[in-house]
Amino acid sequence: MSVAILGAGAFGTALAVALAANGPVTLWARDTSWGRDNPRLPGVTLPAAIRVTNDLPMATGADTLLLALPTQALGGFLADHAPLLDGRHLVSTAKGIDLSTLAGPSTLLAKACPQATVAVLTGPSFAADIARGLPTALTLACADSHAGQALQHTLSTPVLRLYRTTDVTGAELGGALKNVIAIAAGVVIGAGLGDSARAAIITRGFAEMTRLATHLGARPETLTGLSGLGDLTLTCTSAQSRNFRYGQALGARQPFDAATTVEGAATARAVAALADRIGCDMPIAAMVARLADNRMTVEDAALQLMTRPLKEE
């Protein structure tokens, strides 16, 4: 299958570099003036197998399209360009929940492109690691098991290993919700509350992730895999994570680069609204949403979490 990646941010560019090991790859960007050296991924020169273009109709001629677009931008992109995408294999790499619809990227894709085969690529990964050829394992989720198997072979490389599942809901929510918990973990470290408190946030955050995902139909074992626990571990413990760094800035009351996409902030707001709608208890996610909107101080957040009614684990 021919492959194109729509979106030349750091992650989309890194995937293009990795997949170029398998053969020609098209990388679409609105602005291609940077040539072979994308400033979003410093120090990486694109290999010759990657064709960079701003011609969307040409790029969408590929059999398989990886959409490396932020979740909050995906709806608008689909509203403008869905006819170009329909009927293809569409693989979302976004990790979030759309604020306007409270739906995940796979739902947005399925509604906008009803003839497409939709999949999700997610899991513990940093763009810089993938671009450098460091070993990375990800989850490929596709409800169509035969299409998922074909995509697994197309998108795996000697250093990019994909595990397959049909649980799209679980894989997608694991990738989205871990960003919210990563912000909370960053807040703990930024506020100087210690590693013990971070461990508590990670553990109880994982419980929240599993609670919401299973409420929405996910299989609990999916959350213990790469797309849940694996990604949660990575983003809550590394300063390479934008969400963790954003949380650190919140906890330390420091400014954060407004130009940096922080998927977890919008996702926290969406999760808080969704949890309220369906009656699912998500105290850490609600806390992150309030902190991101300056509706709560770190001190009040810590006090509220620590003084909740005592319960069994």
Instruction: Catalogue all structural domains in the chain, each as residue range(s) with its CATH number.
Output: 3-166 (3.40.50.720), 169-306 (1.10.1040.10)
CA 48/CA 24 separation, integer angstroms = 8
8 Å CB contact between 65 and 43: no
Phi–psi pair at 192, nearest 5 degrees? 75, 30
Express each pLDDT in 165-176 by its tens digit: 999 999 999 999
Helices (H), the chain: 10-19, 56-59, 71-85, 105-112, 127-131, 145-155, 168-190, 195-215, 220-223, 231-237, 242-252, 263-278, 283-292, 298-306
- Please give the pLDDT value at position 313: 87
Q: Which two tokens stand for residue 190?
A: 């930024």
CA 199/CA 222 separation, integer angstroms = 21
8 Å CB contact between 242 and 185: no
Express each pLDDT in 36-66 by its tens digit: 999 999 999 999 999 999 999 999 999 999 9
8 Å CB contact between 231 and 205: no
* Average pLDDT score, the chain: 96
CA 282/CA 140 separation, integer angstroms = 26
Strands 25-28 and 50-53: parallel
pLDDT band at 261 (very low <50, low <70, confident <90, very high): confident
- Please give the pLDDT value at position 264: 94
111 assigned to active site: no
CA 14/CA 122 separation, integer angstroms = 14
pLDDT band at 258 (very low <50, low <70, confident <90, very high): low
- Please give the pLDDT value at position 244: 97
Q: Please state, as a whole number, how many other Cβ atoms lie within 10 Å of the Cβ of residue 303.
A: 11
**Which entry of 95, 111, 178, 311 is annotated as an active-site residue?**
178
Strands 50-53 and 64-67: unpaired
8 Å CB contact between 308 and 234: no
Express each pLDDT in 199-241 by its tens digit: 999 999 999 999 999 999 999 999 999 999 999 999 999 999 9
Q: Which residues contact 173 (CB under 8 A, 6 or more apart)?
A: 104, 209, 212, 213, 216, 218, 223
Instruction: Please state, in angstroms and as integers, the Cα–Cα distance from residue 63 to each residue in 86, 88, 239, following that order.
Output: 11, 6, 36
- The burial of 84, by beta-carbon neighbours within 10 Å (0-12 exposed, 13-18 middle, 19 or more buried), is given as middle
